[in-house]
Chain A
Amino acid sequence: MVKPIIETHGLSRIFHRGAVEVPALENVDLQVNEGEFLCLMGPSGSGKTTLLNLIAGIDQPTSGELRVLGEDVASMGEDRLAAWRNAHVGFVFQTFNLIPVLTAFENVEMPLLLTRLSASERKKHVLVALELVGLQDRSDHYPRQLSGGQEQRVAIARAIVTDPTLIIADEPTGDLDARAAEEILGILVGLNRDYGKTIIMVTHDPRAARHATVTRHLEKGQLLPLEEAVATPTAGSPPASVETEKAHAAHI
């Protein structure tokens, strides 16, 4: 039986620009089950990145309920939230966001510095993560010495090195050419299919969305009903996506 690891009820986020209130997200009800590869799509300003940030715990909602991995993320204090992110969430950014003065190895190791692992244990984890993305022989290279696709692969290695349950990917292929984008999406699909990682990806690109098991659309801060969304089966996992779609329909 699949269990939901993300549940939102009436989730809203309003930004204040001086005296003006900008509602970025309005009354979003969403359920994401464990092992899903959810794609959020929508035009610019639709609230997809805002929703992603709330789920990832790097932003706080204005109102509504948000439970991620059984935790009421909205009520956590700053330091507890930071520790929670380190343990449960891996991030993949559009611009890779690698630290330029650190090598690939050191970049991947950064999240592990917040754990109790010894240096030798950290090294093992880092090398496993780099091997998973096919970059174990570039571990001592700096980001400037890597191509865009390679940088994003290092970023993915960094995102998975703590073995998080949830991977958040904000336009992970936005800065890549088609070939590199396919490589990255292939890695994400592999993480979802072979390792059971729950992935939430924001993208503008319909080709990228085809790799997800579920696609939801946002428009003007509102999550469109599921019948207007598209469940996109991927090779090897049609049964899982169909069950997911049915579960969503039953929920709504």
Chain B
Amino acid sequence: MAIPIKYNWRNLVVRRTTTILTAFSITLTVAVSVVLMALANGLETSLSTTGHPLNVMIMREGSQAEGFSSVSREGVRIIKDLDGIAKDDRGEPFVSPESIVLTSLLREGRTQGSNVTIRGLGPDGVALRPDFKIVQGRMFRFGLREVIVSRRISQRFQNCRLGDRLKFGRGYWNVVGIFNAGTSAYNSEIWTDVEGLMSEFRRDQYNDVLARVTSADAAVRVRDQVTTDQRLHLKPVMERDYFASQMQTATPIRIFGGLIAVLMAVGASFAAMNTMYAAVARRSREMGTLRALGFSRASVLFSFVVESMLIGALGGALGCLMSLAINGVTTGTTNFTSFGEMAFDFRVSPELLAAGMAFAVFMGLVGGFFPAWRSARQSVVNALRSS
């Protein structure tokens, strides 16, 4: 039979200052860990949820990113005629030739700029993105110097609000709408007419073509046609696969976050260990009494370990609570594939909170084990003699 847990809980309450201070070191460790993982989580969610399952992105052979690709107008015409390409509402091939430009814009409240992706879309570009929704203003008109800005970019950069005039290229562009593209990577972009954008930057080639295929089998047929057509020198990749492959951007964050977590956890575990050593020393006679009454060494060991894990759980709960404050907050980083700004939300998921709690309890376990072992190893006589 284990020593009742109320014995441990009440001892923690009686020494509440020590308990809270020890738990707080675990709180900070958990909060920092969860926030860093939420950062990686948000980034990965953004990249993994971008794209329609039947959208194919067609780029130049050998290109790793849209920005380094080029597709000729002739290439676009050939793609439109491929077997397997779906038709839009007007009965036209459901494709969007697109162009990408990176421009440096100033962050709100800062003097430093960051690269933001400006995407030129064909007439079907918006329809190909099912998560797209105008939330303020209206859609840009093709042929005019009008842009729509994603809500996240609008919140983070200067001159990106509805009605603003944004300068890039050779002149100013009117912000006529703010859009939301769900959790996708498109939520970090500014969109405009592809022809206007190419003219602004004196380009005669698109970067890539986004096309809808009729089915999964059709995607295979389109792939085969593109890769075997000697005129094209292009490669097709499913849109979702393209953005998912960019999740490497999250890797440094996870590694860094993991290192920070481990370093902080060592410190927090030592704090718990210190507290439990003091508890063991202070309650040595109590433990001797319980052993004399018939409680085994194992129950003494278990009792102190549980007490330390309770401190861990308390710290973990507070840490998780603190980290919830960051959930949904928008932040940004540089996409290491496109080198453009990637704005995304911190995502504190239930799985992350559970992992945070487990981590906290584990720190308590590690911190409590050696003091508990010491207490259990002590002879009953020596324990009863201690003051």
In the bound complex, do residue B296 and residue A91 qualify as a contact, i.e. CB atoms below 8 Å apart? no
Q: Is the CB of B1 within 8 A of A99?
A: no
- Complex Cα gap A133–B119 (Å): 87
* Interchain CB contact under 8 A, B293 and A101: no
- Counted as pairs of residues, one from A and one from B, with CB atoms less than 8 Å apart, the total is 63
Bin chain B's interface residue count: 20 to 34
Is A101 a contact of B10 with CB atoms below 8 Å? yes
Q: Could you say which residues of chain B place their CB within 8 Å of the CB of A146?
A: none
Q: Which stretch of A53-61, A185-193, A214-222 is in the interface? A: A53-61
Residue in A53, A86, A93, A99 whose CB lies within 8 Å of B381 = A53
Q: Kindly list chain A residues whose C-beta atoms are within 8 Å of the C-beta of B6.
A: 102, 106
Beta-carbon contacts of A91-103 to B below 8 Å, as 1s and 0s?
A: 1010101011110
> How far apart sit A213 and B3, CA to CA, in the bound complex (Å)?
37
**B 1-12 to A, binary, CB cutoff 8 A, 1 in contact else 0:** 100101100110
| Interfacial chain A residues near B293, Cβ < 8 Å | 85-86, 91, 110-111, 114, 158
Q: Is the interface of A mostly helix, strand, loop or mixed?
A: helix
B347: CB under 8 A from chain A? no
Indicate if B200 sits at the interface (CB-CB under 8 A): no
Specify which chain B residues have a CB less than 8 angstroms from the CB of A114 in the assembled complex.
Answer: 1, 293-295
Most buried by B among A56, A79, A97: A97
Nearest Cβ in chain B — how far from A80, in angstroms?
10
Give min CB distance, B298 to chain A, whole Å. Answer: 8
Q: Which of B14, B294, B295 contacts A101 (CB 8 A)?
A: B14
The answer to the question of B106 belonging to the interface, with a C-beta cut-off of 8 Å to chain A, is no
Interface residues, chain B, CB within 8 Å of chain A?
A: 1, 4, 6-7, 10-11, 14, 285-286, 288-298, 379-381, 384
Q: List 23 A-B contacts (CB under 8 A).
A: A56-B292, A59-B380, A78-B296, A78-B297, A82-B291, A82-B295, A85-B293, A86-B293, A87-B294, A91-B289, A91-B293, A93-B289, A93-B384, A95-B285, A99-B286, A101-B7, A101-B10, A101-B11, A102-B7, A102-B10, A113-B1, A113-B4, A114-B294
Interface residues of A (CB under 8 A from B): 53, 56, 58-59, 78-79, 82-83, 85-87, 91, 93, 95, 97, 99-102, 106, 110-111, 113-114, 158
